[in-house]
Amino acid sequence: MLRTVIHFSLRIKTFCSLAALFLTALFPGRLSGADTTKHILTLEQCIGIALENASSVKKAEQAYMLQGTDLLKSYGQFLPKVSVSAGYTPLSAARTYADPENETVSTTQTERIDLALTTSLNLFNGFKDYAALRSSMKLREASGLTLERARQVIAYDVTQSYYQVLLDTQLLTIARENLSSSRDQLKLTRRQYEIGLKPVTDFYQQQAETANNELSVIQSENNLRGSRLELLRKLRLDPNKKIVVQDIPQQALAALPRQVDRDSLVTLGKQQRRDLQSSRLLLEAAQWGVTGARSARYPSIDLAFSLSTLAYPYYSVTGDGYPSGQPFPPVSEQLSDLPSYSLGLTLNWPLFDGFITRYNVEQAKTGYIEQGLDTADLEHDIAIDIQLASDNYLAAFKQIETAEKGLKAAEKAYETVKKKYDLGAASFVEANAAKASLVGARSEYTQATYNLALQKNILDFATGTLAVE
């Protein structure tokens, strides 16, 4: 009985497993919950997605908007300050001696409405507002350049990852073709061994070579998987999303200039690099900061004007010898009949503030000097980066030429050795070495081709001419 139950449960499990496999084969995407649709992306599309999703670009955009608000605030310092105040006292009671000798006390109860308009305009404060305005203008412009550079950095990073995916895809294709060739050769060697044309050692060596090629395919697949995930990371997309990148046209690489002038590129980089332009503007803003800190040593002059009025809806005085109430005009008439105003100039000149102004000036000078050093270092680094990028760019053309020659030689050598090996005139070691050289030459040529595209991207980034839509 127990054996029958076990067999019955095993049959149910087997039936469920077969049903699950059948449904998975029919609806693989729905059952697994994964998106099996492959999305083909171009380089321009990848850059656009990254620019839309990158947090660094969003932060730079927010900083740019904030600097716009700060610039508006600096403009507002030249306008008069206006404030309006209103007060309502429903009940106010005061007790006083009406006749101190007789100790007669009177009580005054009022209801009061107050309205006031106050405005002031700074006429002079040691050029503090002017310095703040010029500094805000420089910071606003620098923030915009920083935003442009942040977009270029994103485009540069995505392009690097994009080309890495293309390179790993080609290397995987080479590895798979090599594995397919090794498997075909293994079948041939096995037949030759069975009929006595090849020794058993050749069969075992070919079997080991096929296993090594299978390992190379696994490693290439893992490298491609990692480069795709890295691209998805920079695109801020779902890691389960299936993407296929479109290859770059070879004619685009063929149209690249083979000669570049390093001195001209350095000059161009110093003119086009957005981060260097931003750093120079920050230096000018820091200089205006020193002027603003020095403004505390000068007097400030303010022009003030105020207009106020009041009204008593209720007013009464009670006590010995006083009536219980006094008639007043309507509130509207009181507000219009009782206005008062004042106009005045105020001069404020701090003669000693405990060396606070001196500290602020020195602090501003330190910031100006540090920003100047940063700007000089950045300018020097740009010159070095452009020279390195230009040298690597020119070397990439030579690598392609050398790799192409090596590939042609390896192909001819492999064809020759392969024919000899099939006829028994060459050993397995010679045939395997020729094949390994061919695979290595194909890989080197592929890497050299995409290295040229990478170096062109690096050169454009170093000179600040990387185009971002």
Confidence at residue 99, expressed as pLDDT on a 0 to 100 scale: 66
Same-domain pairing of 229 and 159: yes
User: CB–CB of 139/70 below 8 Å?
Assistant: yes
**50 & 140 share domain:** yes
Same domain, yes or no, for 239 and 364? Answer: yes
For the record, the structure tokens of 119 come out as 């405005």
Cβ atoms of 289 and 364 within 8 Å: the answer is yes
Q: Are 284 and 138 contacting, i.e. CB atoms less than 8 angstroms apart?
A: yes
Confidence category of residue 417, pLDDT binned at 50, 70, 90: confident
Please check whether residue 207 lies inside any domain of the structure: yes
pLDDT at 35: 53
pTM above 0.85, yes or no: no
181 & 278 share domain: yes
pLDDT at residue 295 in the model:
94
On whether the CB atoms of residues 368 and 287 are closer than 8 A, the answer is yes
Domain that holds residue 339: 83-123+300-348
Residue 29, domain member (yes or no): no
Contact 247/43 with Cβ under 8 angstroms? no
Number of domains the chain is built from? 2
Are 272 and 315 found together in one domain?
no
User: Which residue type, as a one-letter code, is found at position 433?
Assistant: A
| pLDDT tens readout for residues 374-412 | 999 999 999 999 999 999 999 999 999 999 999 999 999
Q: For residue 435, how far is the Cα from the chain centroid?
A: 46
**Judgement on whether residues 118 and 263 belong to the same structural domain of the protein:** no
pLDDT at 101: 65
Amino acid 324: pLDDT: 54
Is the model's pLDDT at 176 over the cut of 90?
Answer: yes
pLDDT in tens, 281-330: 999 999 999 999 999 999 999 999 999 999 988 888 776 544 555 677 88
Span 419-445, average pLDDT: 85
What is the structure's pLDDT at 17?
A: 47
261 and 228 fall within a common domain: yes
Residues 119 and 196 in one domain: no
Least confident of 26-40, 178-192, 298-312, 313-327: 26-40
Q: Is residue 50, in this structure, part of any structural domain at all?
A: yes
* 207 shares its domain with 319: no
Q: Looking at the domain assignment, is residue 230 inside a domain?
A: yes
Q: What single-letter DSSP state applies at residue 322? A: B
* 167 and 293 share one domain: yes
Task: Say yes or no: 304 and 416 in one domain.
Answer: no
pLDDT at 237: 92
Residues 422 and 415: their CA atoms lie apart, in Å, by 11
Q: What is the CATH number of the domain that holds 433?
A: 1.20.1600.10
Same-domain status, 163 and 241: yes
